[in-house]
Structure 1
Amino acid sequence: MQSKQKLMLSALTGLMVLGASASVMAEGETEKCLGVAMAGQNDCASINGSHSCAGQATVDHDAADWKNVPVGTCTQMGGEVSSS
């Protein structure tokens, strides 16, 4: 995929999250979503132990890094809901 296409896909994904989060986040219902965090924007430690803090993801969409997202939106964004 070309760089320009990746940028557009990331922008569209972000807009979808913002739109969906407006209603669900008000209720506080979120789920841990693997593989959707952008570099430096993960919410906490990676699941494989490669780092131990929020904001330490080094690549976009690493399957070991996660973000809290509104319930029901993770798979729509191409992620996987974490069972832990």
Structure 2
Amino acid sequence: MMPWLGTLQSGSARIEVITFFPLESFMKSSYLVSSAVAAALAMGLVGQVAAQDKAAKEKCFGIAKAGENDCSNLSGSHSCAGQSKVDMGADEWKFVAKGSCKGMSGMTAEEAKAKMKK
């Protein structure tokens, strides 16, 4: 058996494949390669959809309930999603559809920073 080493890349997705197969079973290995290529392409599409989804959203401060924030807060007391301790903290944010933040009584990052200084 001979080792087969390969790297497949699509956008930022990268898959490294290492397998052993007899040379006589080349057809079987081509199915493996086809599957790896399909997986790499699928990961690239998922990344593009996620990027498009993020582009249609904005950070809205002051609307997250305790434990429902999307990421780190402005004050720096935590750095992960779901770690807020209070409801509607001015420094906590959630992603919302672009243009809908004000209707939820939310704030921009600048407004939230100004409120925190008071």
> Per the shorter chain, which TM-score range?
0.5 to 0.7
Consecutive unaligned residues in structure 2, runs of 5 or more: 1-51, 111-118
Aligned match for 2:105, one of 37, 55, 78: 78
TM-score, normalised on structure 1?
0.63
* C-alpha distance in structure 2 between counterparts of 1:52 and 1:37, whole Å: 15
Q: Higher RCO, 1 or 2 (CA under 8 Å, sep at least 6)?
A: 1
Matches within 5 A, 1:18-37: 28=53, 29-37=56-64
Report how many aligned residue pairs link the two structures: 57
Q: Which has the higher helix share?
A: 2
TM-score, normalised on structure 2?
0.46
Structure 1 residue ranges, 4+ long, deviating more than 4 angstroms after superposition: none
Consecutive unaligned residues in structure 1, runs of 5 or more: 1-26
Q: For each residue in 1:42-61, what CA deviation from the matched residue of structure 2 results, as whole angstroms up to 9, or x when unmatched? A: 00001110111100000110
Q: Which has the higher strand share?
A: 2
